Amino acid sequence: MVHKPQRHETMKYGGIKLYAGRSCPDLAQKIAKYLEIPLQGREVFTFPNDNIFVKLNSSVRGQDCYVIQTSTLPVHTNLMELLIMIQTLRLDSAARITAVVPYLCYSRSDKKDQPRVPITARLVADMIEVAGADRYMTLDLHAGQIQGFFSIPGDVLTTFHLLIDYAKTFINNLVDPVVASADLGFAKKARNFAEELNVPLAFVEKRRVTSNSGESQTLSLIGDTNNRDVILVDDEISTGGSIEQAVNIIKECGARDVYVIFVHPVLSLDAAQRMAALPVKQFITTDTIPIPPKKLAHFGDRIKIISVAGLLGEVIIRANEGRSVGEMFNE
């Protein structure tokens, strides 16, 4: 899917200047490697009072600037750092600024689903724009409608092809495989997975039940996992509660080996430890969020991390040259 194009002779916005915050240094380096350009020098540090300082080492006047910053833990530091970097570039007269945010925080706060609650994903979109971004780029948004919270153009990309390509490398070794969606919200994407892999689909349904003793969750399985190898898919693992429950129910329903594919490894609290304790043969995820070595160690060799660097690098090249991104996906 990803291929290196010929560089065009004329570029509307000047050369690409790649900047990175402190949230995902390895991914940023890989993107720079794909683009065959260095990450630009900048100083970023936090004062003792927790305020963040940013200074660019060289001018960006008239340049096409990309700031790579994933908004994971510590969420507010990383988000604020992104906003400050964007404003720094704006004040130094960059021609165009793109916020490259592989994982967008607050994506689960996308609607007023109970009285007196905010829509924080909208607030985050507003802040990115107000800071001075002209465009944004992100991967597998929790809900597609978040695109409507931005009034600047964006490339909302998917890791679907990368994950499917990997799944295709082992699908033929599985026994009567079935794809199961760990969350009904992911059902449509799970259906695409199942179709691409040419296997049936099952759903884990979560339902909140309120009783006098409080709120609890009941689960049911729609579909057949009995005596089958199961590929469980979801967009993110945060606390791991959803996957833990899903693995338990599909195991109770007779599943053989379980594989878990998820896009964003948020892995908050002790999720890594809890996930590693599950009867899962392999976890497959991406590097939209770096997994700290201590958390990674829990998984041993049972985790496969697929890099999104080539995908983001290719889209950056195309954005700079004003070329179609859709054609990468045959759209």
Q: Provide, rounded to whole angstroms, the least separation between the CB of residue 72 and ligand R5P.
A: 13
Q: Distance (Å, rounded) from C-alpha 236 to C-alpha 128?
A: 22
Instruction: Give the number of other CB atoms < 10 A from CB of residue 258.
Output: 22
Q: Provide, rounded to whole angstroms, the least separation between the CB of residue 143 and ligand R5P.
A: 9
CB 232 within 8 A of CB 247: yes
CB 86 within 8 A of CB 132: yes
The residue count for binding ligand R5P (CB under 6 A) is 13
Stretch that binds ligand R5P, among 17-25, 60-68, 182-190, 321-329 (CB under 6 A): 182-190
Q: Provide, rounded to whole angstroms, the least separation between the CB of residue 322 and ligand R5P.
A: 35
Q: Provide, rounded to whole angstroms, the least separation between the CB of residue 190 and ligand R5P.
A: 10
Our measurement of the distance from residue 305's CA atom to the centroid of its chain's CA atoms, rounded to an integer in Å, reads 12
> Would you count residue 182 as binding ligand R5P (CB under 6 A)?
yes
206 catalytic residue (yes or no): yes
**Of 189, 206, 251, 304, catalytic:** 206
Q: Provide, rounded to whole angstroms, the least separation between the CB of residue 215 and ligand R5P.
A: 15
Tell me which DSSP letter residue 317 carries.
H
User: From the list 14, 132, 185, 200, which residue makes contact with ligand R5P (rule: CB under 6 A)?
Assistant: 185
> Would you count residue 183 as binding ligand R5P (CB under 6 A)?
yes
> Would you count residue 19 as binding ligand R5P (CB under 6 A)?
no
Stretch that binds ligand R5P, among 48-56, 81-89, 181-189, 316-324 (CB under 6 A): 181-189
Nearer to ligand R5P, 21 or 240 (CB): 240
Query: Collapsing DSSP states into helix, strand and coil, what is residue 25?
Result: helix
> Would you count residue 140 as binding ligand R5P (CB under 6 A)?
no
Q: Distance (Å, rounded) from C-alpha 111 to C-alpha 186?
A: 17
Closest Cα partner for 65 from 21, 30, 14, 27? 14
Residues within window 213-272 making contact with ligand R5P, judged by CB under 6 A = 234-242
Residue owning tokens 């200074």: 55
Q: Distance (Å, rounded) from C-alpha 149 to C-alpha 141?
A: 12
Stretch that binds ligand R5P, among 51-59, 180-188, 291-299, 301-309 (CB under 6 A): 180-188
Nearer to ligand R5P, 84 or 141 (CB): 141
What is the sign, positive or negative, of the torsion defined by CA atoms of 115, 120, 121, 123?
positive
Q: Provide, rounded to whole angstroms, the least separation between the CB of residue 106 and ligand R5P.
A: 12
- Cβ-Cβ contacts under 8 Å for 213 (sequence gap 6 or more): none
CB 305 within 8 A of CB 261: no
Nearer to ligand R5P, 16 or 275 (CB): 275
Q: At what angle do helices 160-168 and 187-197 cross, to 10 degrees?
A: 40
**Catalytic residue annotation:** 206
Write out the residues near ligand R5P by the rule CB under 6 A: 182-183, 185-186, 234-242
